[in-house]
């Protein structure tokens, strides 16, 4: 028996280790050397007014955190060196250095205002699996400046920063859960309702508060008649003074908390995301499995060996040089013409006003075709496109091109720090390696665009070394690859109000006299500087275009501009702000043969006051070894709020073979770890061979369905403390009403490129089935009469695609037995259960046999799916069914009540009434069940509701 347990544990950890081997390198450039984290980038949003207290408090926070982190990780890690990015409009100081390859978009920590006064909860944007790095930590300026928030989150440095850093760096999750705050536990045969927490040793009381104006009453919580858990609004209020040292991922603000929960203090029964995501392992076990941990050893010292050092970097004007390949191969496949069309879009529509741009072309040698010019007017843009190349010939010398690009940047700046090179090539160049070091040390960011199947395989190294973007475009005309690549190169400064946003990019082959019709929605968050661009690939005269705005105003071919330099693009710039609503277009191919016609629409934010809806798309890694699956993510947001209910379609285009279309979902099943967080996800497994792939997403939001949501992975908003027997409740968290949120968002269209990735080791010839069904992560249980009702989302044959063959369901009185030795647990007869297609809701009812059900009985369930190749999914989340009769004596009128006033903070923005927080344990109707048994669900958390 013991042996089997060990084997099970090994298996679980093997899969954890596999995750850790996956490099998620996008963005962060943090390095770990001898336990010290270096090159951490903290960026101040360019919208924020100059305030040096922000810088001072960031420094204090990180210095303090360094010591706390050092102790919490048992003398292993500390913060050694931090770079702070200062907005361009803050007054220059001699101590400020130039930004090099760092940028706001790639920062580990950002300081920015919340949108819609949403509140000051620090959080980490985290949507990978257990052990995967997060995207960034967001602090509001209020959080950094307002000391009264200490009571709520604990001190910034010693507590909050380390909590968020653990999310970001080691991919651990919260150990509290606002959506499933309670669960049933049985100790020595006695059942009780417990707060979701780690460790379970943290003591406190269950308190509900109601307020009229500033007068608030508190009393102990009653049980909810239906759920048999504590009533809605009930909070676990901890004792301020206590002995429990863990955990930082639960309530970091408690003075006694100095550790992460480890194997001995971990509470695997708590209904939290850490348990669900990390297979009921403790946060410290996950940290111990990280490469950070295996690459370091404990430091023999009582405090960090170095105090944190800081460098201040200031952003400057954007300077970009296009470095374009005009070698002989660029003459094939119409590449040079496509390059012209795409680069023209960049110069006329994408590059931000005030930026500096130069143009270099290269073949065996490199030439400057345009010196660095500042975009101060439409005339400069029109002037620049004259210098785009129109003919091709000669060899390929990439290093010569890049060096010439550096020369152009130096026309304005004494060094290359923070400048950008857009390097496009279709060719191989064995000499690329000679300038690798030069590029790495340059301080310039290199964005690369690989065109066609023969582009140098080393090209991406330039991007990787310098933090640049990576794009790949095929020669397939109807994929708009090159236009999308150039459209994706907007500034990384965080200055979103200046940026170009792509609303549409679509193309199709249109037969003679046939039509290409469509609709593009212009929403209220964009509309300035709007361009409708029609391109075609054969005729030298435009097709017949009719475009109708939402008010019925019509634009025809004659309203579009066709430049003498480029006879295959017609462009319409809408004066002022484009009408909000649906723009309809009809385009007829009037050429003598069929040709590919495309429609590309770009715009800019309508006003400084309202952030636009934006999309960021990417894969979970840049390089993949078959047969590992990949995950596609699209993050749809407005300001910092997630946009829910959008239709998100991803197109993955391989180097050879046809593109694959996938719908990404935000439903909390399969690859999507959290429902309704605005992160839409899907596994990608249909590999069509080795080489480069490119990712593009189309997003459509429709009035009726789309709305804003709230962020996850926040530091716990502490409800209050019990100090010397006295209950001190904090002011409730400021909430935004759903009405306010929903009123702001109408229909919209977006297109975003997710850049390129490389796949290796795909066998040639037919591929046998290597992908099992994905792990089921949303198993729920309901008690109906004397039966158990289980429900979950169906996985597929290959992860979340297709259809599984059968299910295995097991039950046990031990949660960890199901995790460790699933096969040995009692089987549930599933012979009547036939899996539905992936993504469908499954429902299964059965009567548990040989189980005596009495008060305090807890049964756990878990499920696995098997495909027709006998490949088995991982064990699902473990769900708890508990029978619990609440004690009779807990009637509210027998309890002392007391009147207190809010202790913190007296903000005018706070609502007068406390928010109604609904416990959403989705517990079934109890029906006529006489004993009022409670069915308590362990992991039926709706992670997004309140
Ligand atoms: Ca999601
Ligand atoms: Ca399969």
**Span 313-363, pLDDT tens digits:** 999 999 999 999 999 999 999 999 999 999 999 999 999 999 999 999 999
Is pLDDT of 923 > 60? no
User: Hey, which of 592-601, 640-649, 908-917 has the most confident mean pLDDT?
Assistant: 592-601
φ/ψ of 317, rounded to 5, equals -55, 140
Q: Which of the two residues, 28 and 581, has the higher pLDDT score?
A: 581
Is pLDDT of 664 > 90? yes
164 is catalytic: yes
Q: Please provide the average confidence, as pLDDT, over all residues in the chain.
A: 87
Please give the average per-residue pLDDT across 438-465, as a whole number: 95
CA distances to 243, 433, 622, 864 from 630, in Å: 44, 29, 10, 21
pLDDT value of position 928: 24
CA distances to 147, 254, 419, 725 from 244, in Å: 26, 9, 51, 18
Token output for 722 = 């019990």
Looking at all shown ligands, the one closest to residue 802's CA atom is 2
Q: How far is the CA of 289 from the centre of ligand 1 (A)?
A: 25
Looking at all shown ligands, the one closest to residue 686's CA atom is 2
Looking at all shown ligands, the one closest to residue 796's CA atom is 2
Looking at all shown ligands, the one closest to residue 768's CA atom is 2
Q: How far is the CA of 768 from the centre of ligand 2 (A)?
A: 9
For 619-636, the DSSP string reads ES-SEEETTS-EEEEEEE
Catalytic pick among 164, 344, 653, 842: 164
Angle at 35 between CA 31 and CA 36, to 5 degrees: 55
User: Rounded to a whole number, what is the distance in angstroms from the first to the last CA of the chain?
Assistant: 42
SS (H, E, C) 714-736: ECCCCCEEEECCEEEECCCCCCC
Is pLDDT of 6 > 80? no
Q: How far is the CA of 355 from the centre of ligand 1 (A)?
A: 36
Of 685, 795, 755, 629, the closest CA to residue 129 belongs to 629
Q: How far is the CA of 673 from the centre of ligand 2 (A)?
A: 21
18-32, 405-419, 705-719: range with lowest mean pLDDT: 18-32
User: Hey, which of 187-196, 432-441, 708-717, 937-946 has the most confident mean pLDDT?
Assistant: 432-441
Please give the average per-residue pLDDT across 110-135, as a whole number: 87
Q: Any idea what DSSP says for residue 592?
A: S
**Span 540-564, pLDDT tens digits:** 999 999 999 999 999 999 999 998 8
**Span 590-636, pLDDT tens digits:** 999 999 999 999 999 999 888 899 999 999 999 999 999 999 999 99
Q: How far is the CA of 252 from the centre of ligand 1 (A)?
A: 26
Classify strands 420-425 and 445-451 as parallel, antiparallel or unpaired. Answer: parallel
Q: How far is the CA of 942 from the centre of ligand 1 (A)?
A: 12
Q: How far is the CA of 866 from the centre of ligand 2 (A)?
A: 8
pLDDT value of position 21: 35
Q: How far is the CA of 623 from the centre of ligand 1 (A)?
A: 23
Give strand ranges (E) for 458-524: 470-473, 501-510, 515-522
φ/ψ of 781, rounded to 5, equals -130, 145
Over its C-alpha atoms, the chain yields an Rg (Å, rounded) of 29
pLDDT value of position 718: 81
Give strand ranges (E) for 645-701: 647-654, 660-664, 679-684, 691-701
Q: How far is the CA of 941 from the centre of ligand 1 (A)?
A: 14
Measured between alpha carbons, how far is 253 from 388 in angstroms, rounded to an integer? 58
Is pLDDT of 526 > 60? yes
Looking at all shown ligands, the one closest to residue 795's CA atom is 2
pTM above the 0.85 mark? yes
pLDDT value of position 287: 98
Share of the chain above pLDDT 70, in %: 88
Is pLDDT of 2 > 60? no
Share of the chain above pLDDT 90, in %: 71
Is pLDDT of 369 > 60? yes
Q: How far is the CA of 871 from the centre of ligand 2 (A)?
A: 6
Measured between alpha carbons, how far is 594 from 602 in angstroms, rounded to an integer? 26
Looking at all shown ligands, the one closest to residue 126's CA atom is 1
């Amino acid at each position: 028996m013991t042996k089997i347990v060990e084997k099970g544990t090994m298996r679980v950890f093997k899969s954890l280790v596999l995750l850790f081997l996956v490099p998620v390198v996008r963005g962060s450039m943090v390095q770990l050397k001898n336990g010290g984290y270096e090159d951490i980038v903290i960026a101040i949003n360019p919208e924020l007014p100059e305030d040096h207290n922000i810088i001072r408090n960031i420094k204090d926070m990180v210095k303090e955190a360094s010591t706390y982190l050092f102790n919490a990780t048992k003398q292993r890690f500390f913060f050694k060196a931090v770079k702070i990015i200062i907005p361009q409009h803050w007054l220059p100081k001699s101590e400020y250095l130039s930004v090099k390859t760092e940028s706001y978009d790639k920062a580990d920590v950002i300081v920015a205002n919340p949108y819609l006064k949403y509140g000051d909860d620090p959080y980490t944007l985290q949507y990978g699996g257990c052990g995967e790095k997060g995207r960034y930590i967001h602090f509001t300026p209020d959080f950094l400046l307002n000391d009264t928030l200490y009571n709520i989150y604990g001190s910034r440095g010693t507590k909050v920063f380390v909590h968020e850093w653990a999310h970001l760096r080691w991919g651990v999750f919260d150990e509290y859960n606002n959506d499933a705050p309670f669960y049933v536990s049985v100790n020595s045969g006695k059942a009780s309702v417990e707060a979701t927490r780690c460790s379970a040793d943290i003591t406190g009381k269950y308190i509900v508060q109601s307020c009229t104006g500033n007068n608030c009453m508190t009393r102990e919580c009653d049980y909810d008649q239906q759920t048999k858990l504590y009533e809605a609004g009930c909070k676990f209020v901890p004792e301020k003074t206590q002995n429990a040292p863990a955990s930082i991922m639960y309530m970091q603000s408690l003075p006694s908390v100095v550790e992460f929960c480890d194997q001995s203090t971990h509470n695997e029964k708590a209904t939290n995301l850490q348990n669900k995501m990390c297979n009921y392992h403790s946060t410290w076990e996950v940290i111990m499995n990280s490469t950070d941990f295996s690459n370091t050893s404990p430091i023999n010292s009582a405090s960090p060996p170095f105090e944190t050092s800081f460098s201040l970097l200031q952003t400057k004007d954007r300077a970009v040089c296009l470095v374009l390949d005009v070698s002989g191969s660029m003459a094939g496949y119409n590449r040079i013409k496509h390059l012209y069309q795409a680069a023209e879009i960049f110069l006329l529509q994408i590059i931000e006003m005030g930026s500096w741009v130069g143009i270099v072309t290269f073949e065996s040698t490199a030439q400057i075709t345009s010196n660095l010019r500042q975009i101060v007017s439409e005339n400069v843009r029109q002037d620049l496109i004259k210098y785009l190349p129109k003919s091709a010939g000669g060899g390929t010398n990439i290093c010569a091109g890049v060096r010439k690009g550096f020369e152009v940047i130096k026309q304005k700046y004494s060094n290359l720090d923070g400048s950008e090179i857009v390097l496009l090539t279709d060719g191989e160049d064995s000499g690329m390696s000679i300038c690798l070091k030069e590029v790495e040390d340059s301080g310039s960011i290199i964005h690369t665009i690989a065109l066609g199947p023969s582009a140098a395989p080393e090209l991406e190294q330039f991007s990787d070394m310098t933090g640049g973007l990576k794009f790949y475009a095929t020669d397939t005309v109807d994929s708009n690859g090159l236009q999308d690549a150039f459209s994706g190169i907007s500034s990384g400064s965080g200055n979103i109000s200046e940026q170009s946003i792509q609303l549409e990019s679509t193309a199709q082959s249109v037969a003679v006299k046939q039509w290409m019709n469509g609709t593009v929605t212009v929403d209220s968050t964009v509309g300035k500087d709007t361009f409708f661009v029609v391109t075609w690939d054969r005729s030298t005269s435009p097709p017949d275009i009719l475009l109708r705005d939402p008010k019925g105003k019509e634009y025809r071919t004659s309203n579009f501009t066709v430049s003498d330099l480029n006879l295959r693009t017609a462009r319409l710039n809408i004066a002022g702000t484009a009408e909000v609503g649906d723009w309809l277009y009809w385009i007829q191919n009037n050429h003598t043969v069929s040709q590919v016609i495309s429609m590309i629409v770009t715009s800019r934010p309508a006003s400084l006051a309202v952030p636009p809806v934006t999309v960021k798309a990417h894969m979970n890694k840049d390089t993949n070894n078959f047969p590992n699956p990949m995950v596609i993510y699209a993050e749809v947001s407005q300001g910092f709020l997630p946009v829910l209910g959008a239709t998100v379609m991803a197109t993955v285009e391989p180097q050879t073979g046809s593109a694959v279309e996938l719908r990404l979902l935000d439903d909390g099943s399969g690859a999507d770890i959290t429902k309704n967080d605005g992160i839409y996800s899907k596994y990608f497994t249909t590999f069509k061979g080795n080489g480069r792939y490119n990712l593009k997403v189309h997003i459509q939001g429709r009035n009726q369905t789309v709305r804003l949501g709230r962020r996850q992975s926040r530091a716990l908003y502490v409800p209050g403390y019990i100090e010397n027997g006295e209950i001190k409740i904090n002011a409730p968290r400021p909430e935004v009403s759903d009405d306010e949120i929903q009123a702001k968002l109408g229909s919209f269209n977006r297109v975003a490129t997710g850049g390129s990735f490389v796949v290796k080791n795909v066998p040639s010839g037919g591929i046998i089935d290597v992908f099992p069904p994905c792990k089921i992560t949303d198993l729920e249980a309901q008690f109906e009469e004397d039966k158990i009702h289980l429900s979950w989302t169906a996985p597929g044959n290959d992860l979340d695609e297709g259809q599984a063959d059968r299910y295995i369901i097991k039950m046990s009185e031990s949660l960890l037995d199901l995790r460790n030795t699933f096969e040995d647990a009692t089987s549930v007869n599933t012979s009547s259960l036939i899996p539905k297609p992936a993504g469908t809701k499954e429902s299964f009812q059965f009567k548990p046999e040989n189980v005596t059900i009495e008060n305090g009985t807890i049964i756990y369930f878990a499920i696995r799916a098997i495909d027709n190749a006998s490949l088995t999914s991982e064990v699902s989340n473990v769900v708890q069914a508990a029978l619990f009769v609440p004690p009779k004596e807990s009637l509210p009128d027998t309890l002392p009540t007391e009147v207190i006033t809010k202790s913190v903070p007296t903000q005018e923005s706070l609502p007068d009434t406390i928010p109604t927080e609904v416990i959403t344990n989705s517990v079934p109707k109890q029906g006529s069940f006489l004993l009022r048994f409670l069915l308590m669900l362990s992991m039926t958390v709706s992670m997004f509701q309140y």
